[in-house]
Amino acid sequence: MPAKTIKPGRSDSKTVQQRRQRVASILPILKRAYPQAKCSLNYSNPLELLVATILSAQCTDERVNQVTRELFRKYRTAADYARVPQQQLEKDIQSTGFYRNKAKAIRAMAQALVQKHDGQVPDTMEQLVELPGVGRKTANVVLGNAFGKNVGIVVDTHVTRLANRLGLTRHKADASKIEQDLMQVVPQDQWTLWSHLLIHHGRAICRARKPRCTQCPILEHCPSGKKFIQDGTAE
Ligand code: SF4
């Protein structure tokens, strides 16, 4: 039997309106709290950001920035990464962890850039996610930050946690579903900045353990904050 299409009912659209309103209230407060919010990976062109984002999996941005300082001096073009032997690149990026897979991914991605895109990083979601080792999250980082295009919303561990605590999604951990929920309620021209703001707030105040709800500037708009303060979850 064909699956039934579920149309959003009245209550769903009301919920979406409420979530949009909540985002509209939160956004200016977070912008004031984190006026410098931006991508914390260092890069000077789309290729560097693509490489840095691949390296940032399971690694801190600080460590990635330490490694790329020398890496970006050594490798300047996609062709440079495409022809470096696997073992050499592994050595260059070792301290970022999972270096075998990361070196493999960077070399394969660079070879595809050379073969299919004249060595240039493409600026569409479709072309980016076709590159080996590049998923939607990496593509969103590159599109939003290196190309200034709001095509989607980066959902990392901080965005996942905050979207849940702020009641902006019903999906606990599925990044693509959380992204869809956020895209419904965050204005498109704010998508890239939205992720940076949540990541900054997640690091500074809304930490995974002991969130600082009593010091949080968006407490009055957060459905979890009062509960966390009452039950002792908050610091
Ligand atoms: S009130 Fe608490 S849970 Fe809500 S956003 Fe602020 S720190 Fe996070």
Question: Is the distance from the beta carbon of residue 206 to the nearest atom of ligand 1 less than 6 Å?
Answer: yes
Q: Is the CB of 218 under 6 A from ligand 1?
A: yes
Residue 123: inside a domain: yes
Same domain membership, residue 210 and residue 169? yes
Neighbours of 135 (CB within 10 A): 15
Asked if 197 and 133 sit in the same domain, the reply is no
| 137 annotated active-site | yes
Final residue of a structural domain among 98, 121, 145: 145
Q: Specify whether 226 is located in the same domain as 201.
A: yes
Instruction: Quote the pLDDT of residue 14.
Output: 66
Would you give the end-to-end CA distance of the chain in angstroms?
52
- pLDDT value of position 181: 97
- Say whether both 29 and 108 belong to one domain: no
CA 139 to ligand 1 center in whole angstroms: 28
- Ligand 1 atom nearest to 222, measured from its CA: 4
Q: Sign of torsion, CA 104 109 112 113?
A: negative
Q: Mind listing the pLDDT tens digit for each residue in 142-169?
A: 999 999 999 999 999 999 999 999 999 9
Task: Kindly state whether residue 110 falls inside one of the protein's structural domains.
Answer: yes
Q: What is the DSSP string of 94-160?
A: GGGS-HHHHHHHHHHHHHHHHHHHTTPPP-SHHHHHTSTT--HHHHHHHHHHTS---SS----HHHH
Last residue of a domain, one of 105, 123, 145: 145
Q: Which structural domain range is residue 90 located in?
A: 46-145
Q: What CATH number corresponds to the domain at position 79?
A: 1.10.340.30
Q: How far apart (Å, rounded) are the C-alpha atoms in residues 92 and 28?
A: 41
Q: Do 69 and 159 lie in a common domain? A: no
Residues 119 and 187 in one domain: no
Task: Give the distance (Å) from ligand 1 centre to CA of residue 218.
Answer: 7
Of the residues 80, 137, 210, 231, which is catalytic? 137
Whether the CA torsion 46, 52, 54, 56 is positive or negative: it is negative
Residue 194 near ligand 1, beta carbon < 6 Å: no
61 is catalytic: no
- Identify the residue whose tokens are 């050499």: 88
The last residue of one of the domains, among 145, 166, 195, is 145
pLDDT at 9: 44
The atom of ligand 1 lying closest to the CA of 217 is 6
Q: How does pLDDT run along the chain (235 residues), one tens digit per residue?
A: 444 444 444 446 669 999 999 999 999 999 999 999 999 999 999 999 999 999 999 999 999 999 999 999 999 999 999 999 999 999 999 999 999 999 999 999 999 999 999 999 999 999 999 999 999 999 999 999 999 999 999 999 999 999 999 999 999 999 999 999 999 999 999 999 999 999 999 999 999 999 999 999 999 999 999 999 999 999 8
Contact 235, 212 (CB under 8 A): yes
What is the model's pLDDT at position 34? Answer: 98
Is residue 228 within 6 Å of ligand 1 at its C-beta? yes
- Nearest ligand 1 atom to the CA of 218 is 6
172 contact partners, CB below 8 Å, separation of at least 6: 164
Q: Is the dihedral of CA 230, 205, 97, 139 positive or negative?
A: positive
Q: Is residue 4 part of a domain?
A: no
Annotated active-site residue in 38, 156, 174, 189: 156
CA of 223 to the centre of ligand 1 (A): 8
Give the number of domains in the chain: 2
Q: Ligand 1, residues 197, 210, 224, 230: which to mutate, most atoms within 8 A of Cβ?
A: 224
Helix or strand run (H / E) with residue 196: helix 191-204
| pLDDT of the residue at 12 | 60
Q: Is residue 51 a part of any domain in this protein? A: yes
Would 96 be classed as within a structural domain?
yes
**Pair (180, 135) in one structural domain:** no
Among 162, 207, 203, 209, smallest CA distance to 26 is for: 162
